[in-house]
Structure 1
Amino acid sequence: MTDMENAVVSTDAASGSASDTKTETRGGTSAAVRTGLYIGGEERFTDEVLTIADPGKPGEVAGEAASASEADVADAIAAAKEAFPAWAALSPQERAAKMAEAIAGIADDRDEDAAVLSRENGKIRMESWIDALVFELRWNLALMLADEVDQDKTLPVVPGAIPVTTEVSYQPLGPVTVIVPFNWPIAILGASLPHALLAGNTAIVKPPPSAPLATTRVVQRVAEKLPPGVLNVVTGPDANMSALISSPDVAKVCFTGSVNGGKRIMEMASKSLTRVTLELGGNDAAVFLEDAIVDDAHLDRLFAAIYDTTGQICMNAKRVYVHRSRLGEVVEGLSSRLEQTRIGYGLDEGTTMGPLHQSAQKAFVEEIIQEAKDAGAEVREFGELPGDAELQGGNFLRPAIVVDPDPSLRVVTQEQFGPVIPIIPFDTEEEAVRLANDTWSGLCGSVWTADPDAANRVGSQLVCGYVWVNDHGATRLDLRAPFGGMRQSGFGREQGIEGVRAFQDTRSIATIDPEALASMAH
């Protein structure tokens, strides 16, 4: 995953203009996109830029993003700090009204945003379009929480024990940093940014350095309609970004990325005691009980849960445990769907699976597939790699199924983050729960069964933050519900009122009650 520790970026000296340069390419997309920084209500361009590679076409550039210096980052923090008092002083309803105005019309450029995202990320156009759509959905769902944001409570006098009445209310934290990864950057931003702003905080968004273009475009269009400094966006090499985490003027960091990246964020934040929410990797288990419904509808859901975005989604199913009596049905059902896979460029008509985002990840997935083959596991691979000359050397990989592998293999124990899945048989429900929980992660899980009681029984035993029944994956995530992980999948919650509370703290104001105090004296 892209994170503050291991992001792959390149910087080239270049001069740029304040407008995007557009040229037509295959699929009708715009090439040579250039984005700037957005700080304190003003767009800012830099001589140094991030050159963003196209993962499907070696040697081609998807666009250029501004490369912020440490001084630019300091300016963004200062802008957010300056804007905070006035923004926090508004009521939640007033903030919600301004945020509703800011998101209006965001869909007007969605086709272009999706094309840009597909070129820099590699995923297919439809997924890129949904990525941008989910941001808007999450934003508007957050605004529906406005009346709950300041719901305080009163703790009354306890005669003879507590002679005060205490008002417990909520307060915003201050400037916050939101760091998103490459895989679903715009949608993931929507899980936290609107909640942070609605709570009364100001924000600095850091898009992924290997795919910052579409996210920057969307954030800037929203920020331009908010008071200056309330929402800022900075792009650049991670070496220049440390103040976004360690500055004493940053109240909180919300990070989505890899486990190692999360550990690094937490270490950096500890120096200033900056609060953190971490949504990290997952090794999600999907558990098919003996009575599971294995029809086309359910197999389609499972297929999407595994292979969407070429397997590069934190909440994708990463291990499938199937009752031994149903193993063949699941394997053959997935196989028949994988036989229809068309691997190709994300913007080409008919492509169903694009390239992996980075060559290092492709090499890792190839390695764990080969390791499974060498260990004697049954490995089925599907599809044909693109034959076009311009796609040769792109990060394309044939999707695979690994049937009944040794549980110690990395294809089982590690997050693949690619188009490969281990399918493992079990004999008893207790065994299935034990195997599902035998992992470092605790992000999501799923139970597949025709019995609601069994679904609740097994689902309540899975050690993770979110459980689906007869489904799995991002396409069915309830965008109103709190979302987040356990164990090394992170901590803190996004979405819902819990997501708002994550960007607030409590304030208690106690007022002495003379009569209650007097009664205690007697």
Structure 2
Amino acid sequence: MSNTTDTSTPVTTGLFIGGSGRETAATLEIADPGKPGVVVGRAAAASPADVDDAIAAAKAAYPGWAALAPQERAAQMRAALEGIAESRDEDAAILSQENGKIRLEAWVDSLVFEIRWNLALELAGEVDAAKVLAPAPGIPVSTSVGFQPLGVVTVIVPFNWPIAILAASLPHALLAGNTAIVKPPPTAPLATTRVVQRIAEKLPPGVLNVVTGKDADMAALITSPDIAKACFTGSVGGGKRIMEMAAQSLTRVTLELGGNDAAVILADAVLDDTHLDRLYAAVFDTTGQICMNAKRIYVHRSRLDELVAGLSGRLERAVIGYGLDEGTTMGPLHSPAQKEFVAGLIEEARSSGAEVREFGTLPDAPELQGGNFLRPALVIDPDPALRVVTEEQFGPVIPILPFDTEDEAVEAANASWAGLCGSVWTADADTANRVGGRLVCGYVWVNDHGATRLDLRAPFGGMKQSGMGREQGIEGVRAFQDTRAIAHLEPEAPAAG
């Protein structure tokens, strides 16, 4: 990873529709969350007519793409990915500026895209796997149960890890035989658009398209009868709006929504440097702005002081600053509104009488004054009814709540609207399986937690209001397919004599 990429020239991106780039009269001005008043670049703002053109292009490309064997689609997708790493340093610098996170995380964002893409291609042999139901008494047919692609799909990604998150579903959709339209986040579209366009240019025209713009002009990506499915990653509120819009044309949805992940630290948990480093990263990576970050810690009362000391020591070494500056370990929040929200959670907890410990020093460089920087905080033994416990903070603050019994911890962990992920920290494998099996969420770690520890081969998704459907793995491919049965009538045996 290079730190010498030139970031002084504003970036400009267009649309990519039907194999061709397209400029627009209107643009989105992309602000730098760390440097108030600085414009990172401008992205094309698609009109409703542009969106209709993207849908039409994807629809026209669908029959030819779907007719290919999965292995042929995989071969073309593999070729389209070649050279993706050559622009990774530049993509990371752009993403860091438009998103706010540190350069290393932005660089990994692109790397994870490549890893997920290649893992998806390994599933080519399973895409068309069918099973045959043999004739049975009273059922004189042989039935083949197989799969077919859905058609045109929309993939909508959020600002926090847009490139990596895109690859949790896009390659699976394409491999299954669908054509796709990608909608990057309107507040951080530049790096994602660049990556998608470079791949789309190497695929048949219309197979992969990318449109950026205001949400108000993008409704057809969900409501059009030519859209078979919308795959959305974002907030619970956003997911509800997507689902409501999709109902107009019964468009299918996969929703990967917010979380309020509980990490359960049992009495026998190992809390050495390795495990504490993992937990710290699980909470504070990307300044806390990851859906599957740990957002509540339940710790056995006998280990409370030890855990608080371990996290405090790491927070004391945190360097809050601009994402591209060498040495920065925690960048700004993405938006002023999110900064205000998280600061409000911290102040509410302090006012309630909970112990609040804040760490680090805000940057003092003139160009960073007024940026979305916030000191990270621990909230120790708060009232469980406080918003810092019940709501998704999506920022650098974590409530730490002591418990006395395993049942108490599990009940508290499950007492949430959310069910995305969770973790169990214990030295005993049987205990881990028992407690982990009781957590109501889609993914459970043992002695670990967080996006960087995700098995990218496994299905991922939430329960309760954390979403519906699964991404990654063969389950992620099946999410972009329909099941089809073909029954063959068995010939009657010739009459005797």
Q: How does the TM-score come out when normalised to structure 1?
A: 0.94
Q: Secondary structure at the match of 1:95?
A: helix
Separation in 2 of the partners of 1:517 and 1:226?
53
Deviation at 1:517, TM superposition (A): 12
Number of equivalences = 494
Task: Describe the shift of the 1:260–1:297 C-alpha distance in structure 2 as closer, same or farther (beyond 3 A).
Answer: same
Look up the SS of the partner of 2:287 in the other structure.
helix
- Which residue type is aligned with residue 29 of structure 2? T
**Matched position secondary structure for 2:374:** coil
1:61 corresponds to: 39
In structure 2, the residue matched to 1:381 is: 358
> Which AA in structure 1 matches 2:480?
F
8 Å Cα contact 2:5/2:89 also seen in 1: no
Q: Which residue among 149, 159, 163 is the counterpart of 1:186?
A: 163
Report if the CA contact (8 A) 1:170-1:505 is conserved: yes
Distance 2:81 2:494 in 1: 52
Quote the residue 1:15 is aligned against: none
Equivalent AA in structure 2 for residue 386 of structure 1: P
Q: How do 1:96-495 and structure 2 match up within 5 A?
A: 96-159=74-137, 161-495=138-472
1:478-509 deviations in Å (ceiling 9; x for gaps): 00000000000001000000000000001111
1:386 touches 1:392 (CA, 8 Å); kept in 2? yes
| Partner Cα separation in structure 1 for residue 261 and residue 253 of structure 2 | 23
Q: Quote the sequence identity (%).
A: 76
Counterpart CA distance in 2 for 1:27 and 1:101 is 26
Change beyond 3 A, Cα 1:158–1:342: same
8 Å CA contact retained: 2:229, 2:251: yes
Q: Which amino acid aligns with 2:45?
A: S
Q: Which amino acid aligns with 1:424?
A: L
Task: Tell me the CA shift for residue 29 of structure 1.
Answer: 2.3
What secondary structure is seen at the aligned counterpart in 2 of 1:151? coil
Contact map agreement 1:70 1:240 (CA 8 A) in 2: yes
Letter in 1 for 2:82: A
User: CA 1:403/1:90 → structure 2, altered by over 3 Å: closer, same or farther?
Assistant: same
After superposition, the Cα gap between the structure-2 partners of 1:492 and 1:516, relative to the gap in structure 1 and judged at 3 Å, is farther
When residues 384 and 250 of structure 1 are mapped into structure 2, their CA distance, relative to the original with a 3 A threshold, is same
Q: 2: CA distance between counterparts of 1:517 and 1:416? A: 73
Distance 1:230 1:95 in 2: 11
Contact 2:23–2:44 (8 Å) recurs in 1:
yes
Cα-to-partner distance string for 1:185-242 (whole Å, 9 max, x where unaligned): 0000000000000000000000000000000000000000000000000000011000
Q: Distance in 1 between matches of 2:495 and 2:105?
A: 67
Shift of 1:516: 7.5
CA distance in 2, matches of 1:502, 1:26: 41
Decide whether the 8 Å contact of 1:27 with 1:347 is kept in 2.
no
Cα distance in 2 for partners of 1:78, 1:205 equals 14
1:286-307 deviations in whole A, cap 9, x for unaligned?
0000000000000000000000
Which amino acid is the alignment partner of residue 197 of structure 2? Q
Matched to 1:82, the amino acid is A
Provide the secondary structure at the position in 2 that maps to 1:132.
helix
Could you tell me which of 31, 48, 55 is aligned with 2:9?
31
Gap regions ≥5 residues in structure 2: none
Relative to 1, partners in 2 of residues 1:393 and 1:26: Cα closer, same or farther, differing over 3 Å? farther
How far residue 47 of structure 1 moved from its aligned partner, in angstroms, is 1.4
For residue 475 of structure 2, what is the aligned residue in structure 1?
498
Displacement after TM superposition at 1:26 (Å): 9.2
1:145-184 deviation line (CA, Å, top 9, x unaligned) = 000000001011002x211111111000000000000000
Q: 1:518 to 1:145 in 2, by over 3 A?
A: farther
- d(CA) in 1 for partners of 2:340, 2:484: 51
Counterpart contact for 1:54–1:122, Cα < 8 Å: yes
Distance 2:403 2:274 in 1: 23
Instruction: Flag structure 1 segments of 5+ consecutive residues without an equivalent.
Output: 1-24
Distance 1:68 1:167 in 2: 44
What is the distance in 2 between the residues matched to 1:230 and 1:513? Answer: 40
Helix, strand or coil for the counterpart of 1:140? helix
How far 1:439 moved relative to its partner?
0.2
SS in 2 for 1:515: coil
Corresponding residue of 1:5: none
SS at match of 2:465: helix
Amino acid at match of 1:43: G
